[in-house]
Amino acid sequence: MNTKQYWIDNFKNIATNLQITDERAFDDNLISFWLDGGRATIIIADYKENKIIRREWLTDLGMVDFWRVNFADDPFITHCNCDISKAFLPKVVSITGEGGNPDLGINAVMSSCGTKSYYQKAINIWKDIPKEHIYTKFNWYDRIDTVMYVNKQVEGLRILAVLEAPEEGYINKSKPVVSGNLIAGTTYVVKYKQITYNFVTLAPQDTFIAQAGLTTYLGAGSVYPATSLVELSRKEPYPLSIDLMRKVMLDVFAKEFNIAMNGFPDIINDDQDDEVKAKSIQAG
């Protein structure tokens, strides 16, 4: 499976196969750091060649909390009454489009229902837009490293991004939980229609905590975890294709251990290997 831990284990297997004795090649955290850096490099190179933000690179940050600030972002300045909103984000891969959006690492900024989108424009020129200009009808954001500002007062926006370190993001597990699979101690929310749990009737939007030994519920409603966003771990799908991950591995071994491509063993058993084996059998 294409997970971070899968690639870390493969990295150590290859290092063993190559008889590398450098202890750095067997440090999970250092390998993880190298793989994230190599992933960012490969993504930038792939975009430069193909001009496509591939969907498997993206992380859905869900609804990111924003709060109100003045334009100066300084609560002690009282004469600046143009209020905007601010949020903190994980670091994103720096991808620049030619002659266009300089912040393609942020793929989408939108309202919870997707009815409003925000587009990148430098914060220092927001005030320069004439009131009669069509641009005044748009919603704008600007990102300064890990800080995002938007030109409206909002409490939350949904953001899709290409993260530098995917484990700083989340995975959205918003799948309904079927009766029989409730986990004791977990908080759930009822949606759409009512249910009965532990002899109590619960209406849509009601929450409840699953009790030990009580894993089932009755009714036509759906049950979801109250918090569907969970931290992305090394055991979750890694946001890069297997083909590009091969290039990342080659790049890391070349940079860190001066091992050229022709010295790199193919020990990764995947669809490409299966296809070669199939052709070999057919030829025989």
pLDDT tens by residue, 179-202? 999 999 999 999 999 999 999 999
Task: Give percent of the chain above pLDDT 70.
Answer: 89
Q: With 80 as the cut, is the pLDDT of residue 277 above it?
A: no
Phi/psi of residue 35, nearest 5 degrees: -65, -40
Average pLDDT over residues 35-39: 96
DSSP code for 56? G
Which residues fall within 8 angstroms of residue 92, CB to CB, at 6 or more apart? 105, 106, 143, 161, 162, 163, 164
Average pLDDT over residues 25-41: 95
Q: With 90 as the cut, is the pLDDT of residue 253 above it?
A: yes
Average pLDDT over residues 139-154: 94
Q: With 90 as the cut, is the pLDDT of residue 82 above it?
A: no
CA distance 180 to 72: 53
Whose tokens are 């690492």? That residue is 105
56 within 8 A of 163, measured Cβ to Cβ: no
Q: With 70 as the cut, is the pLDDT of residue 231 above it?
A: yes
Average pLDDT over residues 212-227: 93
pLDDT of 5 reads 94
Q: With 70 as the cut, is the pLDDT of residue 269 above it?
A: no
Q: With 80 as the cut, is the pLDDT of residue 207 above it?
A: yes
CA distance 253 to 251: 6
Band of the pLDDT at 160, cuts 50, 70, 90? Answer: very high
Which residues fall within 8 angstroms of residue 267, CB to CB, at 6 or more apart? 10, 13, 14, 17
Band of the pLDDT at 128, cuts 50, 70, 90? Answer: confident
Q: With 90 as the cut, is the pLDDT of residue 79 above it?
A: no
Q: What radius of gyration do the chain's Cα atoms show?
A: 24
Task: Give percent of the chain above pLDDT 90.
Answer: 66
Least confident of 48-57, 197-206, 263-272: 263-272
Which residues fall within 8 angstroms of residue 108, CB to CB, at 6 or more apart? 117, 158, 159, 160
What 3-state class would DSSP assign to 225?
strand
Band of the pLDDT at 276, cuts 50, 70, 90? Answer: very low
Band of the pLDDT at 264, cuts 50, 70, 90? Answer: low
| CB atoms closer than 10 angstroms to residue 97 | 13
Whose tokens are 């393609």? That residue is 104
Q: With 80 as the cut, is the pLDDT of residue 76 above it?
A: no
pLDDT of 189 reads 93
Summarize pLDDT for 233-248 with one digit per residue, the tens: 888 889 999 999 999 9
Q: With 80 as the cut, is the pLDDT of residue 270 above it?
A: no
pTM for the predicted model, two decimal places: 0.78
CA distance 62 to 229: 7
Least confident of 95-99, 136-140, 146-150: 95-99
164 within 8 A of 89, measured Cβ to Cβ: no
Query: What is the rounded average pLDDT for all residues in the chain?
Result: 87
Helices 4-17 and 242-257 cross at an angle (nearest 10°) of: 50
pLDDT of 279 reads 44
pLDDT of 104 reads 94
Distances (CA, A) of 147 to 6, 141, 155, 165, 198: 32, 10, 15, 16, 45
